[in-house]
A = this chain, B = another copy of it.
Amino acid sequence: MADIQAIAKQFTDFYYTTFDTNRPGLQSLYREHSMLTWEGQPFLGAPNISEKISSLPFEKVQHKVTTLDAQPSSPTVSSMIVSVTGLLLVDDSENALQFSQIFQLIPDGGSYYVYNDIFRLNYG
């Protein structure tokens, strides 16, 4: 599963760098039927997902990935599930928040889009 791990790493590097520097840039990763569940709230489709992410009420944000796991999600298509745990630094808070995030990536013309996205903060 070496390739899958490398693709997952490449995807999450791109995703979190874009999230931390240019949130509207994430919209192109989603499609019409993509789903986001953000802290239990469901959003359907790239425009709604992008609007939610872009409107999150913080100015500065930094993700630090702690663990990254990936598995093929289908026996027939090269889709994959990517599971991330990490720390979120928001604005000038000194307390990092733990988060878990899951993606299902679907191949599409040499690249991948996000079909599933589930985000949760982990409170201690």
Q: A residues bordering B, Cβ < 8 Å? A: 1, 33, 35, 37, 40, 42, 66-67, 69, 71-75, 81, 83, 85, 98, 100, 102, 104, 115-116, 118, 120, 122-124
Known: A37-B69, A40-B69, A75-B33. A100 touches B118 (CB 8 A): no
* Interfacial chain B residues near A74, Cβ < 8 Å: 74
> CB distance B122 to A100 under 8 Å?
yes
> CB distance B104 to A81 under 8 Å?
yes
Chain B residue nearest to A124 in the complex (CB)? B124
Known: A69-B40, A71-B118, A118-B71. A83 touches B98 (CB 8 A): no
Known: A1-B42, A67-B40, A124-B124. A85 touches B73 (CB 8 A): no
